[in-house]
């Protein structure tokens, strides 16, 4: 990217679950439904440890590496179908500060993407339910990459699709795997939630706590 225009661009790459919206309960209910149909049970601690990972990694940990691929696929597809139904039927609201920041960044000329470990259909359903519209220009989900977080592929692809150099991007994440992915991508990061995100450049409990110049400062610092 050598042009002056491309060098002036700035991008924000948003994680979705736990960062822009709290969909934890929907995921938990959907996993319980899908796993219960197969006679499988997991604890809330196991569920908590799965945050930020793709379904193939999650189910390998829960069912064992030698689990029948057909069973893994069936459970994963059922879970996501239940999850999307819950979002459509019950709706979902952005977390504190999320909508305000997306609006502000859009007004200030930042390009924005959702870069998630979730299946692409989930990302699309959530994006519509949250009502962010064209303020988010790019959506990247699990099917768009071959490796999940903490591999940086999802963030590098989102930056490429936005047309912005990695060093001009800021990642916003609530999971340690996502912060590691951002660091490996050479991107500044904001950790939301406090737990497991201490490696981020900035850590806050909620997005509404961020100072007004937080994103600008992170890009300037490089």
Of the residues 5, 17, 22, 25, only one is catalytic, namely 17
Q: Is 17 a catalytic residue?
A: yes
Residue 128 φ/ψ, nearest 5 degrees: -65, -45
| Cis ω for the linkage preceding 156 (within 30 of 0) | no
| Distance from chain centroid for Cα 12 | 12
Q: Examine the residue annotation and report whether 144 is marked as an active-site residue of this protein.
A: no
Q: Where are the beta strands (DSSP E) in 62-192?
A: 111-115, 138-140, 169-173, 188-192
Which is the catalytic residue, given 15, 22, 25, 174? 15
Question: Residue 196: in which H helix or E strand, if any?
Answer: none
CA dihedral 47, 53, 59, 62 (to 10 degrees): -40
- Residue 59 contacts residue 76 (beta carbons within 8 Å): yes
| Helix axis angle, 153-162 to 176-184, nearest 10° | 60
Residues designated catalytic? 15, 17
């Amino acid at each position: 990217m050598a042009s002056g225009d491309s060098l002036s661009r700035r991008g924000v790459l948003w994680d979705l679950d736990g960062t822009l919206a709290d969909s934890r309960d929907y995921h938990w209910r959907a996993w319980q439904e899908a796993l219960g149909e197969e006679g499988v049970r997991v604890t809330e601690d196991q569920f908590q440890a799965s945050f930020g990972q793709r379904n193939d990694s999650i189910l390998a940990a829960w069912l064992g590496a030698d689990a029948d691929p057909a069973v893994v696929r069936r459970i994963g597809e059922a879970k996501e179908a239940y999850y999307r139904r819950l979002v459509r039927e019950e709706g979902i609201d952005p977390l504190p500060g999320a909508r305000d920041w997306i609006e502000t960044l859009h007004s200030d000329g930042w390009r924005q993407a959702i870069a998630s470990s979730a299946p692409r259909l989930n990302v699309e359903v959530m994006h519509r339910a949250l009502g962010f519209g064209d303020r988010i220009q790019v959506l990247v989900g699990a099917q768009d990459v071959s490796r999940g977080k903490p591999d940086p592929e999802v963030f590098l692809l989102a930056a490429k699709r936005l047309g912005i150099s990695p060093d001009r991007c800021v990642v916003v994440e609530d999971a340690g795997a996502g912060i590691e992915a951002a660091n490996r991508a050479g991107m500044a990061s904001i950790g939301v939630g406090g737990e497991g995100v201490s490696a981020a450049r900035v850590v806050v409990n909620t997005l509404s706590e961020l100072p007004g110049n937080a994103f600008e400062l992170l890009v300037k610092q490089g």
